[in-house]
Structure 1
Amino acid sequence: MWREAEEGLQSFYEKRFIEAFFRLHGQPGAADLNKTMLSYAASISTMVAAMFLKQREMSVSLIEPCFDNLVDLLRNMQVEIKPIDEGELHDPETIYDNLVRTVHTDALFLVDPNNPTGFSLLKDGRKGFEQVVRFCVDHGKLLLIDQCFASFALADRNVGRFDIYQLLESSGVTYMAIEDTGKTWPVQDAKCAMITASDDIHEAVYNLHTSVLLNVSPFVLNFLAHYVEDSIEDGFASVRDVITENRALAKSMLDGDVLEYIEPAVNVSVAWFRIKPEGLTATRLQERLLENEVYVLPGTYFYWNEPIKGERYIRLALAREPEMFDGAMRALREVLDRDE
């Protein structure tokens, strides 16, 4: 693959990767646009989006909870951020009115499927996304969507994906959409992220993007294209099976008097648990688990506007070798047994 990449054209490997990625994801609308920009990490794509917001002095409503590096990137770019509670998006019948009531910024930034909760508008097919897009069009809002966990919607037989880019393009909404391979294939940080922007802002986003990065290594693109094709062939089994096995184990071993398993809309690569005892916080539980060499993330990382709410939750990573994960769950169970 190294020699092949040396001898080929950069444009060939870019187009082949983009075509394969969006074919896997069932997004022909994106593959046909020919305006997706590549970078070597989702954080780079997010930084470009934040640079755009700052350049135009735009404020943004960001979903809460969400992974904290999104907040850090926006804050480091000195973008004004306001929270929007994920719960405002749960019912497609009320999404539009909820957004009218709560979003008073220039832009709306969603993570779908969400990390850490696994919530997704995809649970209602097109319905929820259509209401979000309609709101943004009617009220002149820029829509930003982080879809880095979208592969897990494909791997989840109860959800799937429709052609979101076709909806975005046909609606006339101003948007930026971010996707990534890094959350799906653990290949030692050989990854590629994508950002696609609507025509009305594409040139401005492109200029910002090229000021940060000109291209991704053709070897990495060649390497990842083979991974994508492999996932197409096995129907995502190599990704889905490990996460499904570890999720079932975590739920069966941990759901009880101390922790309550929160059922996700999409079976993403993390599990979200609520802490039941009022006297036990996520921070304290994390400390106890570290003493037993088990690491979990407290919910305070994700409730970026109100960290106190996050003290009621912990997040577990599921994309781990099952044998190692089994040992970690047993150690975690031993700690919980002391509180039951």
Structure 2
Amino acid sequence: MTALANLTLMEVDALTDLDGGLNLTDGHARLDLTGEQAAIVARIPEMFETATRRAFPTIEEAAQSAFLGALGQRSAPVGTGRILSCYSSTLATDIVARALPDGATVAVLHPTFDNIADLFRTRGLKLVPLSEEALLDRDWPGPPVSAVVLTMPNNPTGLITPEGHLRSLAEHAARHGQTVILDASFRGQVRDAQYDTYAVLDAAGADWITIEDTGKLWPMHELKIGMLAYSERTTHPIERAFSESMLAASGVVLQLVEALAGDWVDGGYERARALIDLNRSTVREAIETVGLSLADPDSQISVARVALPEDGPDSSQLYDDMVARGVHVLPCAPFFWADPKSGLRSIRISLARPHEIVREAAVTLAEAYLARG
């Protein structure tokens, strides 16, 4: 593994592996369609026709209402013009980074997916880490930090910011003139993360920006929407930054999101939850045979970190061994964007895959670890 590789480059390597290696890198749902989802996909020609006849704002508002409602976000500003539909949550993050003042100091959760830090740095922002321990202790940063970025649930650990902690941060931010930025890309996977964060943030009087994502829930091959919402209080030029990157999202994809959100509340969530739980148990059982364990046993999101002992191979070595065996997973050092060495002792495997693929990958991981020992 090259020392300069970021997580997305490793995901691209897995996606484009001409030898057909197993891809358990990205957190996207690379699954077979359920019967219910297949029936929705079969309606795409109808959605094309609707997109030519129906006003775009009507299509967009229906999708936002269905999706955010399915995730418990009843206070989201649907219909106000303060939710922008992007091609992806990554693009939404870049728009936010460009809207923040150049050179501003931003606290970013640590660890978390490295492209958040990369995008903010690229746009000229100064970053300081906010550890998960500090979050749980409600040890919030003061000035010169002007924005605090949380990922909830966090990737890769699965940590959910409790409602009381988010309220505490929002009240702190309101007192200090800070913006709370919430990346909720994995929210749809976990009921415990679906308390109404919009109500919490607004009640505290905080300036906030929230990024939602449909790409982690359904196997739609990148037909997804990132929703960028912002508070009535914000003075950041978000609409201007949006206009520099986009005209509009696809009305067809928005209809697809609306329909899939309907399935999500009609049993789709439970069907997905059962598979993720089964795959997590399968990984746990496979790695326990060689003395390994899950780093985050209580995590509910569709990825699992495997803890690696100090006296064994680190995650970069194991990553190389796994690729050589035809299986792509992610070493965790890049998630620890402010201190990569602290991530050498865990490796991440995606669970949003068919069960047999996860089982094979977990067995290969155990074999590769044992061979190194």
Q: TM-score, normalised by structure 2?
A: 0.83
The answer for the alignment partner of 1:51 in structure 2 is: 98
- Pair 1:33–1:266, CA change in 2 (3 A): farther
Q: State the distance in 1 between where 2:330 and 2:69 align.
A: 34
Q: 1:147 aligns with which of 166, 169, 184?
A: 184
What whole-Å deviation, never above 9, does each CA across 1:141-193 have from its counterpart, x for those lacking one? 11111000101222xxxx25221101111221011111010111120100001
Could you tell me which amino acid in structure 2 is paired with residue 111 of structure 1? Answer: T
Q: State the distance in 2 between where 1:301 and 1:168 align.
A: 30
Could you tell me which amino acid in structure 2 is paired with residue 141 of structure 1? Answer: Q
The answer for the alignment partner of 1:13 in structure 2 is: 59
Q: 2:361 aligns with which of 322, 328, 336?
A: 328
Q: State the distance in 2 between where 1:2 and 1:314 align.
A: 42
What whole-Å deviation, never above 9, does each CA across 1:105-136 have from its counterpart, x for those lacking one? 111111110000001113xxx21111111221
Q: State the distance in 1 between where 2:230 and 2:298 align.
A: 27
Post-superposition offset of 1:270: 0.4
What whole-Å deviation, never above 9, does each CA across 1:60-114 have from its counterpart, x for those lacking one? 0111111011111112112111111111112xxx31xx214x7741111111100
Alignment of 1:213-252 (within 5 A): 213-252=246-285
Q: State the distance in 1 between where 2:246 and 2:261 align.
A: 23
Post-superposition offset of 1:246: 0.6
- Pair 1:43–1:161, CA change in 2 (3 A): same
Alignment of 1:274-289 (within 5 A): 274-289=307-322
Q: State the distance in 2 between where 1:207 and 1:246 align.
A: 43
SS for the counterpart of 1:183 is coil
The answer for the alignment partner of 2:122 in structure 1 is: 76
Could you tell me which amino acid in structure 2 is paired with residue 5 of structure 1? Answer: A
Mapped pair 1:168 → 2:208 = no
Alignment of 1:36-185 (within 5 A): 36-55=83-102, 57-90=103-136, 94-95=137-138, 98-100=139-141, 104-122=144-162, 126-154=163-191, 159-185=192-218
Post-superposition offset of 1:2: 1.7
Q: State the distance in 1 between where 2:355 and 2:298 align.
A: 23
Alignment of 1:271-310 (within 5 A): 271-310=304-343
Q: State the distance in 1 between where 2:260 and 2:358 align.
A: 24
Q: State the distance in 2 between where 1:103 and 1:262 align.
A: 33
Could you tell me which amino acid in structure 2 is paired with residue 37 of structure 1? Answer: L
Q: Is the 8 A contact 2:185 2:214 kept in 1?
A: yes
Q: State the distance in 2 between where 1:103 and 1:89 align.
A: 17
Q: Is the 8 A contact 1:51 1:208 kept in 2?
A: yes
Post-superposition offset of 1:207: 2.0
* Deviation beyond 4 Å, 4+ runs, structure 1: none
- Pair 1:31–1:174, CA change in 2 (3 A): closer
Moved more, 256-265 or 37-46: 256-265
- Pair 1:64–1:319, CA change in 2 (3 A): same
Q: State the distance in 1 between where 2:124 and 2:61 align.
A: 34
Q: State the distance in 2 between where 1:33 and 1:2 align.
A: 23
Q: Is the 8 A contact 2:286 2:362 kept in 1?
A: yes
Post-superposition offset of 1:26: 0.9
Q: State the distance in 2 between where 1:253 and 1:31 align.
A: 45
SS for the counterpart of 2:362 is helix
Q: State the distance in 2 between where 1:54 and 1:300 align.
A: 29
Moved more, 168-177 or 255-264: 255-264
Q: State the distance in 2 between where 1:206 and 1:99 align.
A: 28
What whole-Å deviation, never above 9, does each CA across 1:283-339 have from its counterpart, x for those lacking one? 111111112112221111101111111111111111011122222222222223335
Moved more, 251-260 or 62-71: 251-260
Q: Is the 8 A contact 1:258 1:277 kept in 2?
A: no
Q: Is the 8 A contact 1:137 1:172 kept in 2?
A: yes
Percent identity between the two aligned chains: 26
Aligned length: 326
